[in-house]
Chain A
């Protein structure tokens, strides 16, 4: 158990809809990262938040947004969903109180999103 929790575990929705994925980081970690993993793209970095503020951005679509709340949990919002958005979405945390670290990332169990 990594200490990172994600809900829901599975999500099935239709094209055009909007969903929210939730993540709680490991105790003491201020950084949260979001990743998308699909069969054809591998694990892709989307966005990082540190202590409530956006810190780094990767290949995140404009239809996607995220935020980190004062209690450090984070939400990833996906809107105008397309079939190609079907993937595993992982949240990871790291670094304790530091924003930048080369240390390991602790991944949650993921949310499997299926867009029909």
Chain B
């Protein structure tokens, strides 16, 4: 099955800077990769999906890259705001041919005013 690694240490940045979060995976190359945001005690909220044949995807201040050679996705938030403070989870198919996502443990982002 897929193993997903996200930095367990919180990322602290200043407001206005670009936050970059990393998602590394092992084993097979997934057909897609998703990013979710989760606030404490609340359900994850979908942000972006990127497919294996896409190198980059953007949505407003968010950008996701997908490098199947490095087995890595980077998630960027530009012009970060304190309201962006949350835990960000990446998710990939559980195994080859599966569509059920396996979630990483997430990285906590703290944006300081």
Can you report 25 residue pairs joining A to B where beta carbons are below 8 Å apart? Answer: A2-B43, A2-B45, A4-B43, A42-B106, A43-B89, A43-B103, A45-B100, A45-B102, A56-B100, A58-B94, A58-B100, A90-B43, A101-B99, A102-B31, A102-B32, A102-B49, A104-B46, A104-B49, A107-B43, A107-B44, A107-B45, A109-B42, A109-B43, A110-B41, A112-B41
CB distance B45 to A48 under 8 Å?
Answer: no
- Min Cβ gap B72→A in Å is 19
Chain B residues 30 to 49 lying within 8 A of chain A, measured CB to CB, are 31-32, 34, 41-46, 49
Give the A-binding residues of B (Cβ under 8 A).
Answer: 31-32, 34, 41-46, 49, 51, 89, 94, 98-106
Collect the chain A residues with CB atoms within 8 Å of residue B106's CB. Answer: 42
Of chain B, the residue at the smallest CB distance from A103 is: B49
Of chain A, the residue at the smallest CB distance from B35 is: A104
Of chain A, the residue at the smallest CB distance from B106 is: A42
A2-B45, A104-B46 known; A42 vs B99 contact (CB < 8 Å): no
Of chain A, the residue at the smallest CB distance from B4 is: A42
Task: Tell me whether A100 is interfacial, beta carbon within 8 Å.
Answer: yes
- Min Cβ gap B26→A in Å is 16
A43-B89, A101-B99, A102-B99 known; A108 vs B105 contact (CB < 8 Å): no
